[in-house]
Chain A
């Protein structure tokens, strides 16, 4: 069964450094998402992406964050200047977006654990 893959599985970075988290969505999917989960807390929506542009973003997704689909297969999340509070699991997801969003399950990757020191 096709799956969403994320790399790296664990990223350690120093505060103030830039990080890029990478995702390969399922190939025929059209909607892409980033979520994050701080240890012990809820899974939080960051951003959705469709037709090469951001569809929706949360308050968390400020100017430090950006997303890109550089080559038609990868979907990346960049954090320009990491803060300690950015430490979390970051999940990428994709959706086929068949007849409607409501009938199209999201498929999640297993995440990248980002540790900011």
Chain B
């Protein structure tokens, strides 16, 4: 499994952008980077994924470094509902499962 490093916790204010970093320096060129989040008392929820170029969807944006050793999940305008644990998960070629780390616990202040 590729090793990832994420901050244990981050804090932000409502309606401000949030940048959640992830280091994944051991991934290979064909490994996708997936992000999931887990709201309190719920199952994990898919957020976004990408391979090389930056990606946008209705929930977030994913900025992938040119060398692919890191990525940043961007929540453009955080709401209280975005308070969750965010997981950065590289998908290794040949793997058919997600391997969760500890993730980043994001707190949103009103």
Contact = CB atoms under 8 A, between A and B. Distances in A.
Interface of A: 4, 31, 33, 35, 42-45, 48, 50, 55-56, 91, 93, 101-103, 105-111
Q: For chain B, what secondary structure do more than half of its interface residues adopt (helix, strand, loop), or is it mixed?
A: loop
Interface residues of B, number: 22
A109 B43 contact: yes
Contacts of A4: 43
Contacts of A56: 96-97
Nearest to A95: B96
Contact of A106 (B38, B41, B46, B95): B46
15 contacts: A35-B44, A35-B100, A43-B38, A44-B100, A45-B97, A93-B43, A102-B93, A103-B32, A103-B49, A106-B36, A106-B44, A106-B98, A107-B46, A108-B43, A110-B42
Interface string B39-66: 0011111100100000000000000000
B29 interface: no
Contacts of B32: 102-103
For the residues of A in contact with B, the DSSP-based class is: strand
Interface of B: 32, 34, 36, 38, 41-46, 49, 87, 91, 93, 95-102
